């Protein structure tokens, strides 16, 4: 991606919107049990993508607002969740009034955001006492075969990108920073699994930022080699499946009602 800024890199996910929508993992219900407050009437799903988290919120929260900057993602999200209010916007600028939400959640996108600008804006949108939650789903590389698959795939991408490696994130701090606007962060970790075929492993790995950063021809070459690896090393062909372990990390904090953003 060269010197393209993080906002442009984040929008590059729209280039593979169909793959992203089909293969990105959802959010385990237990994570939402922990993240959502009991009295949640309105929730904002920020950087909603094609709706992996949004779909889990439907039926749990009465009013759902999905905010997503990429128009291609929004188009698919509108089809997936027609009952949800859908708005363009970013963490740094949301078209919402002050105190709109009881909760605001971000799934797999915090690392694309500018914390210094995003935290005051998130605080503005939340009511006093509202919940801000962030979660990440990642392949569980503590499992040896998953770690080996991850190493193999990263080496392929580095080679296809010319040896320099493909950009993965803007390199910002992983966790939201502490400050007077929010209470200290609480953390919850859990593991779950996805039942996947070889095709689904190839598709899922192809939604990583470092895969999207590659030219289309290089992406296809990586896909072919990952498919061969899944067949030869994991014994997957046709409809045969394997349980892919996923590690989920959640952070939760509360908007301090006595401080102004």
Structural domain spans, the chain: 6-254
Distance CA 95, CA 261 (A): 16
3-class SS of residue 217: helix
Asked if 123 contacts 103 with a C-beta cutoff of 8 angstroms, the reply is no
Q: Which residue has the higher pLDDT, 83 or 9?
A: 83
Residue 214 has pLDDT above 80, yes or no: yes
| Percent of the chain residues topping a pLDDT of 70 | 90
Angle at 116 between CA 112 and CA 118, to 5 degrees: 60
Average of pLDDT values for 197-211? 93
| CATH number for the domain running over 6-254 | 3.40.50.150
Q: What pLDDT score does 10 carry? A: 43
Residue 11 has pLDDT above 70, yes or no: no
Distance CA 74, CA 17 (A): 10
Three-state SS string across 90-149, please? ECCECCCCCCCEEEEEEECCHHHCCHHHHHHHHHHHEEEEEEEEEEEEEECCCCHHHHHH
How high is the mean pLDDT of the chain? 90
| Percent of the chain residues topping a pLDDT of 90 | 79
Place 171 in a pLDDT band, splitting at 50, 70 and 90.
very low
Residue 168 has pLDDT above 70, yes or no: no
């Amino acid at each position: 991606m060269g010197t393209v800024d993080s906002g442009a890199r984040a929008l590059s996910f729209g280039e593979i919107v169909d793959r992203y929508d089909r293969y990105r993992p959802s959010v385990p219900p237990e994570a939402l049990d922990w993240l959502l407050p009991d009295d949640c009437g309105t929730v904002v799903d920020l950087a909603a993508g094609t709706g992996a988290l949004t779909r889990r919120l439907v039926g749990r929260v009465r009013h759902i607002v999905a905010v997503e900057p990429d128009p291609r993602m929004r188009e698919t999200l509108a089809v997936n969740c027609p009952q949800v209010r859908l708005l363009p916007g970013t963490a740094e600028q949301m078209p919402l009034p002050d105190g709109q939400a009881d909760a605001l959640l971000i799934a797999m996108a915090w690392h694309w955001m500018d914390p210094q600008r995003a935290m005051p804006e998130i605080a503005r949108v939340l009511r006093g006492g509202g919940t801000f939650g962030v979660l990440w789903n990642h392949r569980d590389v503590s499992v040896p075969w998953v770690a080996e698959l991850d190493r193999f795939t990263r080496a392929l991408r580095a080679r296809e990108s010319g040896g320099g490696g493909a950009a993965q994130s803007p390199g910002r701090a992983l966790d939201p920073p502490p400050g007077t606007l929010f209470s200290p962060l609480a953390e919850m970790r859990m593991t779950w699994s996805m039942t996947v075929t070889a095709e689904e492993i190839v598709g899922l790995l192809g939604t990583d930022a470092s895969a999207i950063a590659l030219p289309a021809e290089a992406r296809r070459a990586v896909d072919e080699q990952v498919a061969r690896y899944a067949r030869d090393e994991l014994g997957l062909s046709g409809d045969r499946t394997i349980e892919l372990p996923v590690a989920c990390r959640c952070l939760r904090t509360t908007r301090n009602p006595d401080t102004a953003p």
